[in-house]
Structure 1
């Protein structure tokens, strides 16, 4: 399952534009194919993704060989870390 949000281009300028809150985020390749989901403080996770290609609590939902590099992102804000974990569990169960 995917988040019902529009994709946003993954680039460094986005880090300063996102809210400093916990979130569930979804990474996609340039074609819009979902790579996987992660949770965490959104600006920190974006920095990790831009530096290393994935965040600290990232879960691949497809074989990394079948998709391109992370190029797009979308997210759902959470109230706190447990809420973000709940949102992630719901996505991984679908």
Structure 2
């Protein structure tokens, strides 16, 4: 089950919008097909995806209360 959030373009402006908190995220291609679902510090994830994942064109996320909460949410969405 995918996250019920709207896709954001994966670009430099999205980095400043991403919270500096743990969460669950999905990376998607240009068509909105999910490429990856994982957890991490969202701002860092956006920076890394922008720099190192040429197939990722979109991102969406849900903020978690902690790392363990993010992992629990990810398990529910896989």
TM bin (shorter chain): over 0.9
Which residue of structure 2 aligns with residue 65 of structure 1?
none
RMSD: 1.3
Which residue of structure 2 aligns with residue 79 of structure 1?
65
Deviation at 1:30, TM superposition (A): 0.5
Which residue of structure 2 aligns with residue 29 of structure 1?
29
Which residue of structure 1 aligns with residue 42 of structure 2?
42
Deviation at 1:89, TM superposition (A): 1.1
Which has more radius of gyration?
Answer: 1
Distance 1:39 1:52 in 2: 17
Any unmatched runs of 5+ in structure 1? 54-67
Q: TM-score, normalised by structure 1?
A: 0.78
Deviation at 1:6, TM superposition (A): 0.6
Deviation at 1:38, TM superposition (A): 1.6
Any unmatched runs of 5+ in structure 2? none
Which residue of structure 2 aligns with residue 61 of structure 1?
none
Q: How many residues align?
A: 78
Q: TM-score, normalised by structure 2?
A: 0.92
Distance 1:51 1:9 in 2: 14
